[in-house]
Chain A
Amino acid sequence: MSSLAFPQLLRQARTALLLLLLATLVLGLAYPLAVLGVGRLVPGRADGQIVSAGGREVGSAIVGQAFEGEQWFTPRPSAAGDGYDPLASGASNLGPENPDLLASVAERRAAAAAADGTAPADVASDALTASGSGLDPDVSPQYAQQQVARVAAARGLGEQQVADLVAAHVRGRSLGFLGEPRVNVLELNLALQALRP
Chain B
Amino acid sequence: MALSDTAAGLLQIGLLVLLLAAVHVPLGDFIAASLTGPRHLRAERGVYRLLRVDPDADTRWPTYALSLVAFSTVSTLLLYAFLRLQQHLPLSLGMPAVEPAQAWNTAVSFVTNTNWQSYSGEATLGHLVQMAGLAVQNFLSAAVGLAVAVALVRGLVRAGTGTIGNFWVDLVRGTLRVLLPLAFAGAVVLVLTGVVQNLSGATTYTTLAGGSQTIVGGPIASQEAIKELGTNGGGFFNANSAHPFENPTPISNVVEVFLLLVIPFSLPRTYGTLVGDRRQGSAVLAVMAGVFALSHAVTLYAETHALGSAPQAVGAAMEGKEVRFGEWASALFATATTSTSTGAVNSFHDSYTALGGGALLVNMMLGEVTPGGVGSGLYGILVLAVITVFVGGLMVGRTPEFLGNKIRQREITLAALHILATPFALLTGVAIALSSEATRSAVLNPGPHGLSEVLYAFTSAAGNNGSAFAGISVNTPFYNTALGLAMLLGRFLPVLLVLALAGSFAAQRPAAPTAGTLPTRTPTFAGMHAAVVVVVTGLTFFPALALGPLAEALA
Question: Is B446 at the interface (CB under 8 A from chain A)?
Answer: yes
C-alpha spacing A27/B237, complex, angstroms: 20
Query: Closest residue to B470 on the A side, CB-wise?
Result: A93
C-alpha spacing A138/B329, complex, angstroms: 15
Most buried by A among B180, B219, B348, B555: B348
Within 8 A of A (CB), among B304-331: 307-311, 313-326, 329-330
Contact B209 A15 (CB under 8 A): no
Question: Is B345 at the interface (CB under 8 A from chain A)?
Answer: yes
Contact B310 A45 (CB under 8 A): no
C-alpha spacing A145/B56, complex, angstroms: 68
| Binary flags per residue of A133-154, CB closer than 8 Å to B gives 1, else 0 | 1111111100000000000000
Partner of B322 from the list A34, A65, A125, A132 (CB cut-off 8 Å) is A132
C-alpha spacing A93/B555, complex, angstroms: 20
C-alpha spacing A189/B210, complex, angstroms: 13
Question: Is B395 at the interface (CB under 8 A from chain A)?
Answer: no
Partner of B243 from the list A45, A56, A89, A106 (CB cut-off 8 Å) is A89
Contact B351 A66 (CB under 8 A): no
Query: Closest residue to A65 on the B side, CB-wise?
Result: B207
**Given A86-B213, A178-B8 in contact, is the A136-B314 Cβ separation under 8 Å?**
no
**A residues in contact with B180, CB < 8 Å:** 26-27, 31
C-alpha spacing A114/B133, complex, angstroms: 51
Question: Is A110 at the interface (CB under 8 A from chain B)?
Answer: no
Query: Closest residue to A130 on the B side, CB-wise?
Result: B319
C-alpha spacing A172/B5, complex, angstroms: 12
Question: Is B522 at the interface (CB under 8 A from chain A)?
Answer: no
C-alpha spacing A111/B227, complex, angstroms: 40
**A residues in contact with B34, CB < 8 Å:** none
Query: Closest residue to A131 on the B side, CB-wise?
Result: B322
Contact B202 A91 (CB under 8 A): no
Question: Is A119 at the interface (CB under 8 A from chain B)?
Answer: no
Contact B196 A129 (CB under 8 A): no
C-alpha spacing A135/B194, complex, angstroms: 16
Partner of B244 from the list A56, A68, A93, A133 (CB cut-off 8 Å) is A133
Selected interface stretch from B72-80, B155-163, B286-294, B416-424: B72-80
Question: Is B217 at the interface (CB under 8 A from chain A)?
Answer: yes
| Binary flags per residue of B159-195, CB closer than 8 Å to A gives 1, else 0 | 0000000001001100100001001100110011110
Contact A45 B191 (CB under 8 A): yes
| Binary flags per residue of B132-168, CB closer than 8 Å to A gives 1, else 0 | 1101100110000000000000000000000000001
Question: Is A17 at the interface (CB under 8 A from chain B)?
Answer: yes
Query: Closest residue to A174 on the B side, CB-wise?
Result: B250
**How many CB-defined contacts (below 8 Å) exist between A and B?**
367
Within 8 A of B (CB), among A152-197: 172-182, 186, 189-190, 193
Contact A97 B449 (CB under 8 A): yes
Contact B51 A87 (CB under 8 A): no
C-alpha spacing A158/B206, complex, angstroms: 29
Partner of A130 from the list B225, B320, B329 (CB cut-off 8 Å) is B320
Query: Closest residue to B8 on the A side, CB-wise?
Result: A177
C-alpha spacing A180/B253, complex, angstroms: 12
**A residues in contact with B171, CB < 8 Å:** 19
**B residues in contact with A126, CB < 8 Å:** 318, 323
Contact B209 A23 (CB under 8 A): no
C-alpha spacing A89/B318, complex, angstroms: 17
**Given A9-B66, A87-B202, A132-B239 in contact, is the A16-B447 Cβ separation under 8 Å?**
no
Partner of A27 from the list B139, B245, B321 (CB cut-off 8 Å) is B139
C-alpha spacing A34/B392, complex, angstroms: 52
C-alpha spacing A172/B315, complex, angstroms: 22
**A residues in contact with B316, CB < 8 Å:** 125, 129
**B residues in contact with A19, CB < 8 Å:** 47, 51, 71, 168, 171-172
Partner of B351 from the list A13, A89, A92, A128 (CB cut-off 8 Å) is A92
**A residues in contact with B3, CB < 8 Å:** 173, 176-177
**A residues in contact with B41, CB < 8 Å:** none
Question: Is B238 at the interface (CB under 8 A from chain A)?
Answer: yes
**A residues in contact with B248, CB < 8 Å:** 62
Contact A58 B311 (CB under 8 A): no
C-alpha spacing A72/B207, complex, angstroms: 13
Partner of B471 from the list A32, A93, A172 (CB cut-off 8 Å) is A93
Contact B12 A27 (CB under 8 A): no
C-alpha spacing A80/B239, complex, angstroms: 9
Contacts A39-B221, A66-B207, A96-B351 known; list 16 others, CB within 8 Å. Answer: A38-B187, A45-B196, A47-B196, A90-B238, A92-B348, A97-B555, A98-B446, A101-B351, A128-B314, A130-B319, A132-B242, A135-B239, A173-B2, A179-B249, A179-B324, A180-B323
* Residues of A near any B CB (own CB < 8 A): 5, 8-9, 12-13, 15-20, 22-24, 26-29, 31-32, 34-36, 38-39, 42, 45-50, 53, 56-60, 62-69, 72, 76, 80, 84-99, 101-102, 105-106, 125-126, 128-140, 172-182, 186, 189-190, 193
Across the A-B interface, give the 6 residue pairs with the lowest CB-CB distance, nearest first.
A179-B250, A28-B132, A132-B242, A96-B308, A93-B471, A89-B239
A-B contact pairs, 24 of them (CB 8 A): A15-B51, A19-B71, A27-B136, A28-B133, A31-B180, A35-B219, A45-B192, A46-B198, A58-B205, A88-B238, A90-B238, A92-B348, A94-B471, A95-B449, A96-B311, A97-B552, A105-B310, A128-B313, A133-B322, A138-B322, A138-B323, A179-B249, A179-B250, A179-B329
